[in-house]
Amino acid sequence: MLDIEKKIEALSKEIVATSIANKDQLETFRIRFLGSKNCLKPLFGALKEVPNDEKKSVGQQINQLKQTAQEKFDDSQAQLEEQTETKESLDFTRPGEPQPLGARHPISVVRNEIISIFERIGYGISEGPEIEDDWHNFSALNFPPEHPARDMQDTFFVEKDDREMALRTHTSSVQVRVMENETPPIRTISPGRVYRNEAISARAHCFFHQVEGLFIDKDVSFADLKQTLLYFAQEMFGKKTKIRLRPSYFPFTEPSAEVDVSCTICQGSGCNVCKNTGWLEILGCGMVDPNVLEASDIDPETYSGFAFGMGVERIAQLKYRVNDLRLYSENDVRFLNQFKSAF
As a whole-number percent, the residues of the chain with pLDDT over 70 amount to 92
42, 86, 90, 290 from 94: Cα distances, Å: 54, 15, 9, 63
Q: Tell me, yes or no, whether 193 and 125 share the same domain.
A: yes
Q: Averaged over 189-218, what is the pLDDT?
A: 91
DSSP 140: G
Do 83 and 172 lie in a common domain?
no
Over 60: is that where the pLDDT of 222 sits?
Answer: yes
The verdict on residue 29 lying in a domain is yes
- pLDDT tens, 314-325? 898 888 888 788
Q: Give residue-wise pLDDT tens across range 74-87.
A: 888 888 888 766 55
Domain check: are 62 and 129 in the same one? no
166 and 292: one domain?
A: yes
Is 334 inside any structural domain? no
187 lies in the same domain as 310: yes
> Does residue 70 belong to any structural domain of this protein?
yes
**Do 147 and 273 fall into the same domain?**
yes
Residue 73 belongs to some domain of the structure: yes
Within-domain flag for 211: yes
Is residue 149 pLDDT above 60, yes or no?
no
Question: Which pLDDT does position 47 carry in this prediction?
Answer: 75
**In this structure, is the dihedral angle defined by the CA atoms of residues 229, 233, 234 and 236, taken in order, positive or negative?**
positive
* 54 lies in the same domain as 177: no
Q: How far apart are CA 2 and CA 161, in angstroms?
A: 109
Question: In the chain, pLDDT over 90 holds for what percent of residues?
Answer: 42
Report the domain count for the chain.
2
Q: pLDDT class for 249, splitting at 50, 70, 90?
A: very high
* Structural domain boundaries, residue 320: 106-328
Question: What average pLDDT does this structure show over 178-199?
Answer: 93
Q: What is the pLDDT of residue 118?
A: 97
d(CA 339, CA 343): 8
Is residue 111 located within the same domain as residue 212? yes
Establish if 263 belongs to a structural domain: yes
Same domain assignment for residues 165 and 262 = yes
Q: Name residues whose C-beta falls within 8 Å of residue 220's C-beta, 6 or more positions apart in sequence.
A: 287, 303, 304, 305, 306
CATH number for the domain that contains residue 119: 3.30.930.10
Say whether both 217 and 289 belong to one domain: yes
